């Protein structure tokens, strides 16, 4: 293969035994330096370039993630709680500069002003102000928790503008060049939702699709959202956004948690997984003195359900596609072909990981760290094949998947229920790399279309420790791995005038726990940044031509 053979990276600073089909690892390196507070670098600094960086790469790798984990003597509990730190690696004429800024959210500003945690986050409850008297502190436990605007998950784009987002109803418009915070935007001012994911999908015409919940006295509804591609004026943000449809949970008082969703050419695919939210516990967490995430739990006795929504009509398909209990945070791709809808996603057979990523766990060392890692289920890429043309005449209790060389099954149990099993999108060699997460594809050309390649991080640690290129033709993989180096989510950037799907480069921030260092697949160039960078979540490539 002559394509994507370059992995171009930025850098900052045992015995094995088989258990349940997976390798139990021992002697894991402590990664505490990757989850420590760092200083921002608001002015661009040059990176030290080694080798050759292609001059056709013109733009910026934008990254987002937590970068501050305490205020005063108060510490956050969960990795998701840290204050958003935005990063920009500008690439131009074979040179690289780096800058970073903390998002000036209301949460950050209030916490900074009082030098204590003033705003509750996912895994950390803000304690009553010690300056209040005992009676005032008691009454404050009955106050409703306000959603945070700490948008630390990803960079996203609506109507040509860049935003940083989390999963509440707030996101922030930012200047993608200076990383300055520009405007706080509230989804609920435009449509009746109380939040939205940080993983929208974009159609070729620029229309964006997302999902968000709404709440009423009966409980929760899942809502499919669309945002038009064009601005109506220079100050426009989400004007014209609308709810395409609403989906009722199986139990409206215990809806599913979701981080993202899938989309094909004609359908939005919502995966209702048995990671559940106990709304009563969440609503009373402040009264009970418990963290918000204490209301999230895994129910392995419930099935996972795929809901299909027609993007043109907003109609929810009456046919529900079921599978066994599984959890998914990120989908790879979805596409329609010959009457089937293929949904490819990274899945785990257990959904308890979300409450495992406590900062104290990530900072452990020795046997304690090994124990945390070995308690987690691994995540693997899988394909579900959903037959679209289900009618009252569809034969029951037989496999409807007629696609050649596919081991996935889809058995119709009734006119509105199909039970599915998955096909692995990998060979056994992926087990040696701890599975795969943070998937990425050649999005602009192959999202919602049949495709061949995807990229991701291998996880032989609590964070990514390898980069993987998967070839669906033969389910072959290529791996970049160096002990002690921890790559971030890979971002694919196509070569100019690329004709092949994998003709391009992968950008990834590679971190080391000690001094700055970098290596690549077949190394073309490296850019070393002389500052500490914490391990982040998601990002995007901003082309200089856009």
Per-residue model confidence as pLDDT tens for the chain (546 residues) = 445 433 444 443 333 333 345 678 999 999 999 999 999 999 999 999 888 889 999 999 999 999 999 999 999 999 999 999 999 999 999 999 999 999 999 999 999 999 999 999 999 999 755 555 444 434 344 456 788 999 999 999 999 999 999 999 999 999 999 999 999 999 999 999 999 999 999 999 999 999 999 988 788 999 999 999 999 999 999 999 999 999 999 888 899 999 999 999 999 999 999 999 998 888 888 788 888 888 999 999 999 999 999 999 999 999 999 999 999 999 999 999 999 999 999 999 999 998 899 999 999 999 999 999 999 999 999 999 999 999 999 999 999 999 999 999 999 999 999 999 999 999 999 999 999 999 999 999 999 999 999 999 999 999 999 999 999 999 999 999 989 999 999 999 999 988 999 999 999 999 987 533 333 345 556 778 888 888 888 888 888 776
Q: Answer yes or no: is 259 a known binding residue.
A: yes
CB-neighbour burial class of residue 131 (10 A; exposed 0-12, middle 13-18, buried 19+)? exposed
CB count, 10 Å around CB of 139?
A: 12
Question: b/e per residue, 520-532, with b = 16+ CB within 10 A?
Answer: bbebebbbbbebb
What span, in angstroms and rounded, lies between the C-alpha atoms of 25 and 15? 7
What span, in angstroms and rounded, lies between the C-alpha atoms of 436 and 481? 13
What span, in angstroms and rounded, lies between the C-alpha atoms of 204 and 264? 12
What span, in angstroms and rounded, lies between the C-alpha atoms of 132 and 8? 53
Contact between 171 and 157 (Cβ < 8 Å): no
Whose structure tokens read 């609503």?
A: 283
Largest CA distance in the chain: 71
What span, in angstroms and rounded, lies between the C-alpha atoms of 262 and 250? 20
Q: Beta strand pairing status for 504-512 and 6-12?
A: parallel
Integer CA distances (angstroms), 431 to 23, 381, 434, in order:
8, 11, 5
What span, in angstroms and rounded, lies between the C-alpha atoms of 423 and 280? 37
pLDDT, residue 216, reads 80
What span, in angstroms and rounded, lies between the C-alpha atoms of 351 and 160? 35
pLDDT, residue 13, reads 35
Task: Cite the DSSP H helix spans in 351-502.
Answer: 359-362, 366-374, 443-446
As given in the structure block, the two tokens for residue 47 are 């990176």
DSSP percent split of the chain into helix, strand, coil, nearest 5: 10, 40, 50
CB count, 10 Å around CB of 75?
A: 14
Name the β-bridge partners of 273: none
Q: Answer yes or no: is 442 a known binding residue.
A: no
Q: Answer yes or no: is 517 a known binding residue.
A: no
As given in the structure block, the two tokens for residue 106 are 């209301």
Contact between 522 and 5 (Cβ < 8 Å): yes
Question: HSE on the CB side for 472, CA within 13 Å?
Answer: 20
Q: What is the dihedral of CA 405, 409, 412, 418, to 10 degrees?
A: -120
What span, in angstroms and rounded, lies between the C-alpha atoms of 332 and 48? 34
Tell me which residue of 286, 386, 270, 376 sits closest to 331, measured CA to CA.
270
Task: Cite the DSSP H helix spans in 68-180.
Answer: 106-114, 134-140
Q: Answer yes or no: is 78 a known binding residue.
A: no
As given in the structure block, the two tokens for residue 399 are 């496999």
What span, in angstroms and rounded, lies between the C-alpha atoms of 385 and 423? 8
Q: What is the DSSP letter of 380?
A: E
How long a stretch of residues is the chain?
A: 546
What span, in angstroms and rounded, lies between the C-alpha atoms of 467 and 390? 39
As given in the structure block, the two tokens for residue 535 are 């391990």
């Amino acid at each position: 293969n002559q394509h994507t053979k370059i992995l171009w990276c930025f850098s900052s600073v045992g015995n094995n035994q088989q258990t349940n089909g997976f390798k139990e690892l021992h002697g894991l390196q402590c990664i505490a330096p990757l989850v420590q507070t760092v200083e921002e670098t608001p002015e661009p600094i040059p990176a030290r370039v080694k080798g050759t960086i292609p001059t056709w790469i013109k733009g910026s790798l934008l990254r987002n993630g937590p970068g501050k984990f305490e205020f005063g003597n108060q510490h956050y509990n969960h990795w998701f709680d840290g204050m958003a730190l935005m990063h920009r690696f500008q690439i131009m004429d074979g040179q690289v500069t780096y800058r970073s800024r903390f998002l000036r959210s209301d949460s950050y500003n209030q916490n900074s002003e009082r030098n204590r945690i003033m705003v509750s986050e996912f895994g950390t409850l803000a304690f009553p102000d010690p300056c209040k008297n005992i009676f005032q502190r008691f009454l404050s436990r009955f106050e409703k928790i306000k959603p945070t605007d700490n948008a630390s998950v990803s960079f996203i784009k609506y109507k040509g503008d860049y935003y940083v987002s989390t999963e509440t109803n707030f996101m922030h418009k930012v200047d993608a060049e200076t990383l300055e915070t520009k405007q706080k935007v509230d989804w609920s001012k435009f449509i009746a939702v109380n939040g939205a994911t940080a993983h929208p999908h974009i159609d070729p015409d620029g229309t964006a699709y997302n999902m968000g919940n709404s709440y009423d006295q009966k409980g929760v509804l899942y809502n499919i959202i669309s945002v038009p591609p064009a601005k109506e004026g220079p100050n426009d943000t989400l004007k014209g956004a609308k709810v395409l449809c609403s989906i009722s949970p199986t139990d409206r008082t215990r809806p599913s948690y979701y981080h993202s969703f899938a989309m094909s050419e004609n359908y939005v695919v919502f995966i209702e997984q048995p990671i559940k939210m106990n709304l009563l516990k969440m609503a009373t967490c402040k009264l009970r003195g418990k963290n918000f995430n204490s209301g999230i739990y895994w129910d392995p006795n419930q099935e996972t359900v795929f809901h299909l929504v027609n993007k043109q009509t907003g109609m929810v398909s009456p046919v529900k596609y079921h599978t066994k209990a599984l959890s998914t945070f990120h989908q790879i791709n979805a596409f329609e072909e010959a009457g089937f809808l293929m949904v490819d996603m990274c899945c785990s057979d257990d959904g308890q990981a979300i409450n495992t990523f406590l900062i104290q766990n990530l900072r452990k060392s020795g046997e304690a760290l090994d124990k945390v890692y070995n308690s987690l289920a691994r995540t693997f890429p899988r394909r579900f094949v959903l037959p679209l043309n289900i009618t009252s005449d569809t034969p029951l209790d037989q496999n409807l998947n007629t696609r050649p060389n596919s081991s996935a099954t889809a058995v119709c149990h009734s006119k509105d229920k199909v039970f599915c099993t998955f096909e692995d999108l990998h060979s056994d060699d992926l087990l040696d790399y701890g599975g795969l997460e943070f998937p990425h594809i050649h999005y602009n050309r192959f999202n919602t279309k049949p495709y061949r390649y995807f990229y991701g991080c291998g996880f032989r640690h609590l964070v990514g420790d390898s980069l993987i290129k998967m070839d669906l033709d033969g389910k072959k993989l290529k791996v970049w791995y160096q002990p002690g180096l921890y790559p971030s989510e890979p971002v694919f950037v196509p070569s100019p005038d690329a004709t092949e799907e994998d003709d391009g480069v992968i950008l990834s921030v590679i971190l080391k726990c000690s001094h700055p260092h970098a290596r690549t697949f077949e190394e073309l160039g490296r850019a070393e940044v002389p500052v500490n960078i914490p391990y982040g979540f998601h990002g995007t490539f901003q082309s200089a031509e856009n």
